[in-house]
Amino acid sequence: MTAILAAGPEGGSNLLAVVALIIGLGVVSQMLAARYRVPSVIFLITAGIVAGPEVLDLFDPDAFGGAVSAIVGVSVAIIVFEGAFNLRIDKLREAPSAAVRLVTVGALIAFVGTTVTVRFALGADWSVAMVVGSLLVATGPTVVTPILEVVAVRDRVAAALETEGIVNDVTAAIFAVVAFEALALSDATPVDYVYLFVERLGVGLLVGLVVAGVLWYVLTHVDLSRGNAPQTARLLVLAGAIVAFGVASTIRSEAGVAAVAASGVLLGNLDIPYETDIEEFKGDLTLIVLSFVFIVLAALLEFDKLLALGAGGIVVVLVVTLVLRPLLVFLSTTGDRFTRNEKLFVSFVGPRGIIPASVATLFALELSNPESVPYNPAGADILVGTVFLVILVTVVFQAGLARQIAEYFEVIPMRVLIVGGGKVGRSLAERLEDRGEDVVLIEQDADIVERSRNEGYTVHHGDGTDTEVLRSAGAENAKIVAAATGDDDANLLVAQLASSKFDVDTVLARANNPDNVDAFEDLGVRTISASMATAWAMDNVIERPALSNWMTELGRTGDVQEIEVTAEDLVGKTIAQLDDELPKGVLIALVGREDDHHVPDGDFTLRQGDHITFLGRTEAVHEALERCHPHD
C-alpha cells in the first residue's frame, strides 16, 4: 500500500503536508491526554501506528529521507534539556540516596539482567544483547514527566523517578553507543568499554558546562534590551541547547545527550533572569517536538518484527517489567523513607521512552546497511523489535494505568501547603507527615528554610503571598492550605489567594491577634486564633489531663479520622452492628448529620451522607477506615 502523503516529484509540498498531519495529530493527542488525565505518550504512539504504513498508511516516515536521524537528534536534545532544566537540586534532597542507587546499582541490575535475558530468550549475539540491555535501562523524562503531571505522588517519589529518568537517559544512550561501536571490535576488552564510555561522558560534561557558563554570563551581564529581553533569553537558551548537542556530538557520537543534560541541570539551578519565561517557552516547544518524534518513530514500527520475536519477546518483557524492575527498585530504596507501597508503585511504573526508541531506530538502520562494518540484519530485527515491544507494553500498561496503579497502592497523599516555616508551621507539618500526608512548607527566610530542610521537611523557598510561588509549590494540586505565619495580613492574603486562584478545598488561617478573628471569618476565611487555641490547650491540661496527653500524641500512637457514609452496606446499619465489625482499639466517637452532631448510642441508624468520626489507636483507626470506606 502506497502512503497517501509520500515523497514524490512534488516532494516539498508532500513533506509539508506530512509535517502538518503529524503536528495536528500531536496536538489532538495532547488535548486528549489533558482531557482524560492520561500521559500523552499513549495517544502519540497510537496516533503514529494508526496513521503510519502499518494501518491507515496516511504518511510514510521515509518522506523525510536521511533527515530522520538529524530531526530525532535535535528533538532529543530539546527534550532532554527541558527535563534537565527542571531538575532542581533542592528537589533531589527529597530522595538523594535512593536516586543515587537507582542510577548506579539499579541501572547495573537492569543492564545485566536485560542483556542476559535477551541473549538466552531470543538467541541474540552477546553484542546485540548488550545494546538492547543498555537502551532498556532508560526510563526517561519524556514518559515520566507526563505521569507525574497527572499522578501527584510525594516529592521523594517524584524526585527519585525524575532523577532516574534524566540520568539514565544520558548513561543509557552513551553506553548503548559504546556497546554498538564494540560490535566492530572483535577483541574488545572491558577496558575498551570503560574508555569509550568515560570519553563520551567527559566530552559531554565539558561541553555542557562551557555552554551553560556562556549562557549564564550573557543572560546576567549583557543588556538584552528591555522590549524583547524575555524573547531573546528564550531563543538564547534554545540555541545553547542545540549548540551543546551539536558540538559534543561532532566531537564524539552520542556525547550530545550528556552535554544538553549537563548544561540544562547547571543552568536550571543558577539564578538567571527570565527563568519563568524560559520554562514556559521550553515546555510548549517540548510538547510539539515530543509529539512529532513519538509519532514518527511509532510510524516506523513494523508489526512483523514484533511478531517474529515470539514467546522469547514475551519472556523479555515479563522479566524486564516484573522481575528486574521490582528487584532494582527495592534494592535501591532499602533503608530510605519509602514506604512499601511507594516502592511497589515505582516498581510498576518504569515506562521506556524516546531515547531507546530513537537510538534503536538509528542503530537498526546501520545494522541493516550492507556497507556497514557491523552488518547484522538479524540483530537489527531483534534490536528494534525488542526495544519497541518493551516500550509499547510499558507505555500502555505502566504509563497509561499509572494513576490507577497509584490509587491501588494508595500512594497519592493529600497535598498540604503550609505557609510559614516557623515553630507553628513545622509542628503542624510534623503531625501531618506522621499521618502520611504530603506536606510542603513555604518560607522566605533563608535561615528558616535551611533549618527546616535539615530537620527533614520539604520546603519551598519563596513568599507565600505570591501567586506564582504558591503555584510552583503545588497549590493547584493541594487539598489544604494553612497560612501559619506570624503576620495576620500575610495569612489573610494567602487564604484569599488559595480560595480564589486555586480553589483549594480547605483553607485555614492563623490569627495572631484575636481581634482579627471576626474580620477574617466575615471574609469567609476559616480562622484559628492562636491565643484561644493556647488557652483551650491549657484548659485541657487542667481539666482533662488524660485527654490532653492523648491529643498531644495524636497522629503517632492515636488518631481521629472522619469519613462520609457512601457504601451501600453501611446505610441502614446501627452503630451497635457496625461496632461489632470494627477492630479492637477504635470507637465511633461522633456522627454528623446535616448540621447536627451526635454522640451515638447503639441503636443509632446510619444514613447516606452521614459523617462518622473514628477515634482510637492509629492502626485500628486505619483498619476501620478501610472497612467502612474500602479502596475501589
**What are the pLDDT digits (tens) for 381-422?**
888 889 889 988 998 888 888 888 888 887 877 788 999 988
2 is a domain residue: no
Q: How far apart are CA 166 and CA 176, in angstroms?
A: 16
What is the predicted pLDDT for the residue at 153? Answer: 81
The percent of residues in the chain predicted with pLDDT above 90, rounded, is 13
Same domain, 503 and 421: yes
What is the predicted pLDDT for the residue at 115? Answer: 94
For residue 632, pLDDT beyond 50: no
CA angle 353, 359, 361 (to 5 degrees): 100
Looking up residue 192, the CATH number of its domain turns out to be 1.20.1530.20
Same domain, 443 and 572: no
547 is a domain residue: no
For residue 144, pLDDT beyond 80: yes
Same domain, 65 and 128: yes
- Order of strands across the sheet that contains 596-598: 558-564, 611-617, 586-593, 596-598
**What are the pLDDT digits (tens) for 502-518?**
888 888 999 888 888 88
445 is a domain residue: yes
Check: CB of residue 216 under 8 Å from CB of residue 267: yes
592 is a domain residue: yes
Section 212-224 average pLDDT: 86
**What are the pLDDT digits (tens) for 37-95?**
676 778 888 888 898 888 888 887 777 766 777 777 787 778 778 777 876 776 666 55
What is the predicted pLDDT for the residue at 174? Answer: 76
CA atoms within 13 A on the CB side of 2: 5
Least confident of 129-138, 162-171, 506-515, 556-565: 556-565
Q: Give the H/E segment covering residue 564.
A: strand 558-564
Q: Which of 301, 333, 389 is nearest to 109 (CA)?
A: 333
What is the predicted pLDDT for the residue at 322? Answer: 94
What is the predicted pLDDT for the residue at 225? Answer: 67
What is the predicted pLDDT for the residue at 1? Answer: 46
Q: How many helices (H) and strands (E) are present in the chain, helices listed first?
A: 29, 10
What is the predicted pLDDT for the residue at 121? Answer: 93
Q: Give the H/E segment covering residue 483.
A: strand 480-483
Looking up residue 440, the CATH number of its domain turns out to be 3.40.50.720
343 is a domain residue: yes
At 505, the amino acid letter reads: D
What is the predicted pLDDT for the residue at 118? Answer: 94
For residue 327, pLDDT beyond 90: yes
What is the predicted pLDDT for the residue at 372? Answer: 65
Same domain, 175 and 33: yes
DSSP 322: I
Same domain, 305 and 450: no
Check: CB of residue 200 under 8 Å from CB of residue 250: no
Number of domains in the chain: 3
Q: How far apart are CA 280 and CA 264, in angstroms?
A: 15
For residue 317, pLDDT beyond 90: yes
What is the predicted pLDDT for the residue at 93? Answer: 63
3 is a domain residue: no
Cell output for 373: 562494518
More confident: 529 or 354: 529
Provide the Cα torsion 361, 364, 370, 372; round to 10°: 90
Band of pLDDT at residue 325, cut at 50, 70 and 90: very high
Residue 291 dihedral angles phi and psi, to the nearest 5° = -60, -45
Domain final residue, candidates 389, 408, 427: 408
What is the predicted pLDDT for the residue at 334? Answer: 84
Check: CB of residue 513 under 8 Å from CB of residue 488: yes
Same domain, 512 and 605: no
Same domain, 401 and 420: no
Same domain, 515 and 595: no
For residue 237, the SS3 value is helix
What is the predicted pLDDT for the residue at 9? Answer: 47
Provide the Cα torsion 575, 577, 583, 589; round to 10°: 10
Mean pLDDT of the chain: 81
Q: How far apart are CA 21 and CA 165, in angstroms?
A: 30
More confident: 132 or 148: 132
What is the predicted pLDDT for the residue at 119? Answer: 93
551 is a domain residue: no
Section 335-364 average pLDDT: 82
Section 252-275 average pLDDT: 82
Q: How far apart are CA 180 and CA 193, in angstroms?
A: 10
**What are the pLDDT digits (tens) for 56-65?**
888 877 777 6
Q: How far apart are CA 491 and CA 523, in angstroms?
A: 13
Task: Tell me the Ramachandran region of residue 140: left when phi exceeds 0, alpha when psi lies from -120 to 50, beta otherwise.
Answer: left
What is the predicted pLDDT for the residue at 306? Answer: 83
**Distance spanning both ends of the chain, measured CA to CA:** 46
Same domain, 323 and 253: yes
Same domain, 354 and 503: no
What is the predicted pLDDT for the residue at 209? Answer: 92
Strand partners, 183: none
If one counts every other C-beta atom within 10 angstroms of the C-beta of residue 66, the result is: 8
Section 297-305 average pLDDT: 80
Domain final residue, candidates 408, 427, 450: 408
Looking up residue 583, the CATH number of its domain turns out to be 3.30.70.1450
Domain final residue, candidates 477, 510, 542: 542
For residue 485, the SS3 value is coil
Domain that includes residue 614, residue range: 557-628
What is the predicted pLDDT for the residue at 157? Answer: 85
5 is a domain residue: no
Q: Is the pTM of this model over 0.75?
A: no
What is the predicted pLDDT for the residue at 313? Answer: 92
- Helical segments of 184-324, H only: 190-221, 229-251, 255-268, 275-299, 303-307, 310-318
Same domain, 362 and 508: no
Check: CB of residue 98 under 8 Å from CB of residue 156: yes
Same domain, 387 and 470: no
Least confident of 40-54, 120-134, 358-372: 358-372
Section 264-276 average pLDDT: 81
Q: Which of 221, 194, 197, 210 is nearest to 260 (CA)?
A: 210
- Helical segments of 319-375, H only: 325-332, 340-347, 354-367
Q: How far apart are CA 403 and CA 392, in angstroms?
A: 18
